[in-house]
């Protein structure tokens, strides 16, 4: 009863507070509690009814949310899902942090990012600065697009431009082709991949290597430059 009362009082006090010119709305089906001295509030789900936070262009659902009022920061745990309404993007993870003033987000554990209807990312960690739309994905990274799967160690990209740089021991596969490189630049809008750092393309028994290889996903055309070598795989 005390816990529910604290949540009700807190909701009445803070539901209309404005942060950085935008109202933050919090809904907690399981109630909440507050440390008023530290200005820290905790919100709980009730079974499958998750805690919901809404502000600006974003909405977050989680089993648990902690709001640090002085820092305008949210921490979420358990079945975390953040939705960016426009353009529509969905982020899922096991833990989440948001700086509401800077619109800077981090996510950890089984990270999934739906970039658009055809493009999805997976990783262990995400850093995303919404104001510049720059983001990084780290750890067991994969990119799925139109039947292609790209795996590597890290992705650096920009949400607006759709330009993604995958580094590490990069592997690219679909039903017909296999590629590898140390660095791949995936230009999503024009559907081209530029392979650098010892790139190799394999189609059937044909293998092509070069200093740089450009693969056009629409036309399936391969362009190679620098020291070009080709061979038939026995």
Per-position pLDDT tens, the chain of length 234: 334 444 444 444 443 333 344 479 999 999 999 888 888 999 999 999 999 999 999 999 999 999 999 999 999 999 999 999 999 999 999 999 999 999 999 999 999 999 999 999 999 999 999 999 999 999 999 999 999 999 999 999 999 999 999 999 999 999 999 999 999 999 999 999 999 999 999 999 999 999 999 999 999 999 999 999 999 987
pLDDT, position 35? 87
Please give the angle made by the CA atoms of 136, 140 and 146, to the nearest 5 degrees: 80
**What is the SS3 assignment for 142?**
strand
Render the burial of 18-34: b for 16+ CB within 10 Å, e for the rest: eeeeeebebebebbbbb
- Given a contact cutoff of 8 angstroms between Cβ atoms, the answer to whether 13 and 5 are in contact is no
Nearest to 215 by CA among 177, 158, 170: 177
The residues near 187 (Cβ < 8 Å, ≥ 6 apart) are 162, 163, 193, 194
Q: What is the pLDDT of residues 65-86, one digit of tens each?
A: 999 999 999 999 999 999 999 9
The residues near 1 (Cβ < 8 Å, ≥ 6 apart) are none
- Given a contact cutoff of 8 angstroms between Cβ atoms, the answer to whether 158 and 133 are in contact is yes
Question: Which residue segments constitute the domains of the chain, with CATH numbers given?
Answer: 1-114 (2.60.450.10), 131-234 (2.60.450.10)
- Given a contact cutoff of 8 angstroms between Cβ atoms, the answer to whether 144 and 165 are in contact is no
Distances, alpha carbon 54 to alpha carbons 18, 36, 73, 148, in Å: 12, 22, 13, 34
Q: What is the pLDDT of residues 160-193, one digit of tens each?
A: 999 999 999 999 999 999 999 999 999 999 999 9
pLDDT, position 4? 42
Write the DSSP assignment of 60-91 as a string of letters: EEESEEEEETTTTEEEEEEEEEEEETTTTEEE
The C-alpha atoms of residue 39 and residue 19 are separated, in whole angstroms, by 14
Structural Rg of the chain based on CA atoms: 22
Query: 18-24: long-range contacts (C-beta < 8 A, 24 or more apart)?
Result: 19/55, 19/72, 19/100, 19/101, 20/72, 20/100, 20/101, 22/55, 22/56, 23/55, 24/53, 24/54, 24/55, 24/67, 24/100
Q: What is the pTM of this model?
A: 0.87
Return phi, psi of residue 21, to 5°.
80, 5
Q: Cis peptide leading into 115, omega within 30 of 0? A: no
What are the structure tokens assigned to 102, written together?
A: 């800077």
């Amino acid at each position: 009863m005390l816990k529910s009362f604290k949540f009700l009082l807190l909701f009445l006090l803070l539901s209309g507070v404005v942060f950085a010119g935008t109202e933050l709305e919090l809904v907690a089906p399981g109630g909440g509690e507050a440390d008023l001295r530290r200005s820290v509030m905790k919100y709980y789900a009730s079974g499958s009814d998750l805690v919901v936070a809404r502000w600006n262009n974003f909405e977050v659902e989680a089993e648990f949310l902690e709001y640090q009022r002085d820092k305008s920061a949210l921490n979420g745990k358990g079945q975390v899902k953040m939705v960016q309404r426009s353009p529509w993007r969905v982020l899922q993870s096991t833990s989440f942090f948001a700086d509401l003033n800077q619109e800077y987000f981090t996510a950890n554990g089984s990270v999934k990012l739906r970039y658009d209807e055809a493009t999805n990312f997976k990783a262990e960690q995400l850093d995303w600065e919404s104001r510049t739309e720059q983001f990084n994905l780290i750890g067991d990274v994969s990119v799925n697009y139109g039947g292609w799967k790209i795996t590597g160690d890290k992705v650096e990209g920009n949400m607006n431009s759709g330009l993604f740089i995958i580094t590490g021991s990069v592997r690219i596969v679909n039903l017909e082709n296999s590629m590898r490189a140390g660095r791949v630049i995936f230009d999503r809008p024009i559907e081209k991949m530029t392979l650098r750092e010892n790139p190799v393309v394999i189609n059937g028994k044909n293998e092509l290597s070069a200093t740089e290889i450009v693969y056009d996903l629409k036309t399936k055309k391969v362009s190679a430059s620098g020291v070009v070598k080709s061979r038939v795989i026995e």
